[in-house]
Amino acid sequence: MNPWQQQKPLMVLAPMYDVTDTAFRQIIAKYSKPQSPAAFFTEFVSVEGLASSAGQKLEQMLWFDPAIERPIIAQLFGATPSLFERAARRMVELGFDGIDINMGCPDCTIMKQGSCSALIDNPKLVHEIIAATKAGAGELPVSVKTRIGTNRIVTEKWITYLLQTQPAAITVHGRTAKEMSKVPCHWDEIGKAVAVAKGSGVLIVGNGDVVSLADAREKVKRYGVDGIMLGRAIFGNPWLFAEHEPSIEEKLRVCIEHTRLFEKYFVKGARALKEHNWPPKNFAVMKKHYKAYVNGFDGAKELRIRLMDQESADGVVREIERFMA
């Protein structure tokens, strides 16, 4: 299924490092029904890393359940065109529905490598990377997630250049790399991207500070985007796409379910790790989720503090069940 050829507006789940792993995506798929995201994205994975001796271990970040997480798009980053082509061929083998190139991460360390947001200032390399990715992707659609500049806003110039490479879609985060997430999203600039792309056949998806599906629909109407990418609003709220207001008990039960799934896939001794020779993840990865699931009700702070001290799913279950009792 081509994720970009579905009914519009497209509501998609943002890729987030150490967040949108298979456990989290499966929870979202289950509790988003009847209207799941139009597309799921993996965490971003380095093409240079995939080509290195650590490549097999990095594929852990690309793990997905094809029966649950569809359509799914692999997000890649890097600065070497030939390795993008090589990685794209591997994504075809792994069964992905699309490939997205990260040109938006503002992390300074990654930008110093010439990757992600740094590519905004290197259009020649961008052209080579997109062409190479398309060559490796075959029939899979190739899209781009980007920002509106590095140190200054260059929306119209940058989007005009990207359109020349004809990606299937461009997701525009309405801030510069320098601004990170420290200022309100410039939705007027996303509107400019829509105007520039009109008639090109390339979809424009808006991203930044969207708090709900109602907010997403309002922004579609106001700015004319073909879809919305939702990120931080999903934390602690896998019902976001279903527009369901969960009870405290529902949130805590799903918190347990999410933890069990994380342990199933990523904790030492998990079958998937043994089969693929993957390293275990640190259980602390789950703690950012506890901050989101456990808030806004009496006793939340105390329970959250206790959950932060746990090192296993059993410990989390024990504390939550004690609280609910």
Give the active site residues: 105
CA torsion sign for 16, 19, 21, 22 is negative
E strand or H helix that includes residue 254: helix 248-266
Element (H, E) at 114: none
Place of tokens 């290197």: 122
Please state, in angstroms and rounded to a whole number, the distance separating the CA atoms of residues 193 and 19.
28
Tell how far CA 155 is from the center of its chain: 22
| Nearest by Cα to 193 from 238, 239, 158 | 158
> Would you tell me how many other CB atoms lie within 10 Å of the CB of residue 218?
13
CA–CA gap between residue 76 and residue 46 (Å, rounded): 6
Torsions phi, psi of 118, nearest 5? Answer: -60, -25
d(CA 154, CA 159): 8
Q: How far apart are CA 12 and CA 21, in angstroms?
A: 15
Q: Which tokens go with 47?
A: 């093409």
User: Which tokens hold the place of 142?
Assistant: 């190739």
Q: Strands, DSSP E only, in the chain?
A: 10-13, 40-46, 72-77, 98-103, 142-147, 169-173, 203-207, 227-230
> What is the distance between the alpha carbons of residues 15 and 184, in angstroms, rounded to a whole number?
20
Measure the CA dihedral 64/33/296/231, to 10°: 50
Q: Which helix (H) or strand (E) holds 207?
A: strand 203-207
Contact 123/175 with Cβ under 8 angstroms?
A: no
